[in-house]
Amino acid sequence: MKILGIILIIIVAGIAFGIRTYNRFVQSKEMVQNAMGQIAAQVESRWDALTSLIQATKNYQAHERETLVEVVQSRQGLTRQAKVKEVSQDDALFEKALSNVQLLVERYPELKADNLYQKTMESVNTYENNVRQARMIFNDTVTKYNRSIKVFPNSLIAGMTGFHPEEYFEATSSKKDMPQW
């Protein structure tokens, strides 16, 4: 009878451990999705600022402006379920649109002196910094999540319940190639 009681206690403790571990995985995964949601919100704000910047250029070369508007309209919005690859693709589209604006400014230097242009460019830079910070928070959250599902015995429970490691944001190739001091 004593042995049956000990076995029952071990089984109940194992089940309780499994449930507690699973719940921690769910919480960690929610934190990862929340961090991605923060990135998505900042990216949307950054695009809004870029759209305002494009509006500030409306008196200059209609064809170039139309090209920028097409780039902005072609993008898909991000959600908290977005993957790193989707955000990276969105970033490439943003960089393309921003470089087109910068080319427009090079052709029309008086645009730089425009007060509306200056303010909206400041907004773009502010949101760009916010996106960068949100990515750092995301990577930190992913590190904690990945670590929690990779350690033993958590890795057994993670494997049985379908939790898999998340991807990190990495520096873009243009950022990796920057000079080392």
Q: Please give the domain boundaries of the chain with CATH numbers for all domains.
A: 2-164 (1.20.1440.20)
Alpha helices in the chain (DSSP H): 2-56, 62-74, 84-107, 110-113, 115-150, 154-161, 173-176
What is the reported pLDDT for 178?
Answer: 46
Q: What's the pTM?
A: 0.76
Going by C-alpha positions, the residue among 82, 56, 79 that lies closest to residue 69 is 56
Exposed / middle / buried, residue 22 (Cβ in 10 Å: 0-12, 13-18, 19+): middle
pLDDT tens-place string over residues 94-149: 888 888 778 777 877 777 777 888 888 888 889 889 999 999 999 999 999 999 99
**What is the mean predicted confidence (pLDDT) over 23-30?**
94
Going by C-alpha positions, the residue among 51, 66, 59, 71 that lies closest to residue 105 is 59
